[in-house]
Structure 1
Amino acid sequence: MPWVMYLLKCMAWGAIGLQLYFVIQIGLWAFMNPSSTAFQRAERWRLCHWSLSCPIQHRWVSYEQISNDLKRAILVSEDDIFFKHNGVRIDDMQKAWERNQKGGSKVVRGGSTITQQLAKNLFLSSEKNYLRKAQELVITGLLELMLSKQRILEIYMNSVEWGEGIFGIGAATSHYYVANPKNISREQAAALASALPAPKCFDKSKYCKRGSIDFGLRQQFILENMDRVVLPKNR
């Protein structure tokens, strides 16, 4: 039927237009810092709705002003071979697929790299389904193609959630240690990195579930493995 073809064409052009929007946004972020992310906007709405005053904490910190210990700790926690892969870790995704098949139609584990996490945080929702995962992979490819690894890590560290209403490493170091990301200790760096899998639980016990992460044990693991992560010398 003609109306069906028209509807399909509209959907196709809409999908193409959405990808072009992602390309333009990512291209701008090679030179400009994102003002907010999809996750930040969703959290602001959850906490504040239409209120003009909102307890969202965020402060951008440049890559050079973040200690190398903190960078290494975050990489150990989230993606220890970040500088060696092209945005995805095939083995981890295969393991995630196998676990998800056992879990039925609902995605239960993503096997995401830092680039994939950033793609989700910048543009997408926390909903877990295969359509969203496919779009995440497209955005991941664009990020890896258009931005340097250091820039991807810089944006990630400045946008990831670190507690209720706390986004980015500048706000996190200030909130937890009244410090800045340049001069926190190795122990503090490992503690902050240990929070990333469950930042709201790290911040407030009311968000913790049964079987929650042992942050102290995770911090110790990160401390023991930080020195094996090698950072590039030049940006």
Structure 2
Amino acid sequence: MLKRLFRFVVKTSIWFVLLSVLWVLLYRFIDVPFTPLMGIRSFQAQDSYEIRHTWTDLEDISEEIKLAVICAEDQNFIQHNGFDLKAIEKAYKDNKSGKNLKGGSTISQQTAKNVFLWPKRSWIRKGMETYFTFLIENLWSKERILEVYLNSIEMGEGVFGVESAAQYWFQKNAKQLNRHESAALAVILPNPRKYNPAVRTPYLERRKQWVLKQMNNFGELSLAEK
């Protein structure tokens, strides 16, 4: 009995690894058409739910929004291998001291969660997130990770990706986003269904000014460093 159970676990694990690697490799080359979160939001909606999602290649996205999300979410994105231990340690200390809850997740981790997993926190999901982060960091380039991230991130009620966000919030395409609009979009990412980037509240304005300062200090963005 134990021998058969062991064989079943081994076979299941092998199939899981093979299929997950193939899944990640597939998204290395083709656009991500749909994410689990889109399905969850549609299922949770009581009324008809419109999903706004238009894929846009990285070269057709403003350099300003690329820099803004990196400065707001993961300033060590280019250097790390998917996990920023200093950010995780800082988030742990902040959460323990009673400050606002922060996840410490990198752009790579967020991409793994957004594209392959579900949003609800659990140890199982965190373990799967770690596994898929390892895969995309080793099977995708940094450019591809950022491209998928910018096309899958939730940026409003039913709004997914920077192209749809630019059209929905600013009536322009992602290539035309300027520095201030990009910073305004970046600051809503922790809670995109609560905040409106087109409305200037004291909190969002403080966050926006902080992101703009980080963008000025960061300098020119080059994804070819790794």
Q: TM-score, normalised by structure 1?
A: 0.83
Q: Which residue of 2 aligns with 1:147?
A: 140
Match for residue 57 of structure 1 among 44, 47, 52: 52
Rounded to whole Å, the distance in 1 between the matches of 2:11 and 2:96 is 32
Structure 1 counterpart of 2:78, one-letter code: F
After TM superposition, the structure 1 = structure 2 runs for residues 158-173 of structure 1, keeping only pairs within 5 Å, are 158-173=151-166
SS at match of 2:155: strand
Match for residue 72 of structure 1 among 57, 67, 81: 67
**Which sits farther off after the overlay, 15-24 or 83-92?**
15-24
Kindly indicate whether the alpha-carbon contact (under 8 Å) linking 1:158 and 1:168 is maintained by their aligned counterparts in 2: yes
Distance 1:233 1:199, change over 3 A: closer
Deviation at 1:61, TM superposition (A): 0.9
Distance 1:67 1:39, change over 3 A: same
Kindly indicate whether the alpha-carbon contact (under 8 Å) linking 2:78 and 2:223 is maintained by their aligned counterparts in 1: no
Rounded to whole Å, the distance in 2 between the matches of 1:199 and 1:24 is 31
Rounded to whole Å, the distance in 2 between the matches of 1:219 and 1:148 is 29
Rounded to whole Å, the distance in 1 between the matches of 2:19 and 2:123 is 21
Residue by residue, what CA displacement relative to the aligned partner does 1:37-93 show, whole Å, maximum 9, x if unpaired? 1111211222268xxx74110001110011111111111111111111110001222
Rounded to whole Å, the distance in 2 between the matches of 1:56 and 1:131 is 28
Rounded to whole Å, the distance in 2 between the matches of 1:23 and 1:113 is 21
Residue by residue, what CA displacement relative to the aligned partner does 1:129-182 show, whole Å, maximum 9, x if unpaired? 222211111100100100000110000000000011110001100000000111
Q: Which residue of 2 aligns with 1:223?
A: 212
Deviation at 1:6, TM superposition (A): 3.4
Residue by residue, what CA displacement relative to the aligned partner does 1:182-233 show, whole Å, maximum 9, x if unpaired? 11221111101111111001149xxxxxxx9922111111111113143227
Q: Identity over the aligned pairs, expressed in percent?
A: 34
Unmatched 5+ residue regions in structure 1?
205-211
Q: Which residue of 1 aligns with 2:222?
A: 232
Deviation at 1:101, TM superposition (A): 7.5
SS at match of 1:202: coil
1:87 paired with 2:77, answer no
Q: Which residue of 1 aligns with 2:113?
A: 120
**Which sits farther off after the overlay, 109-118 or 87-96?**
87-96
Paired residue total: 219
Rounded to whole Å, the distance in 2 between the matches of 1:27 and 1:178 is 34
SS at match of 2:105: coil
Rounded to whole Å, the distance in 2 between the matches of 1:229 and 1:181 is 21
- Aligned Cα RMSD in Å? 2.6
Rounded to whole Å, the distance in 2 between the matches of 1:32 and 1:229 is 31
Q: Which residue of 1 aligns with 2:30?
A: 32
Deviation at 1:111, TM superposition (A): 1.4
Q: Which residue of 2 aligns with 1:214?
A: 203
Residue by residue, what CA displacement relative to the aligned partner does 1:99-127 show, whole Å, maximum 9, x if unpaired? 67789xxxx65311000001011111122
Kindly indicate whether the alpha-carbon contact (under 8 Å) linking 1:164 and 1:203 is maintained by their aligned counterparts in 2: no
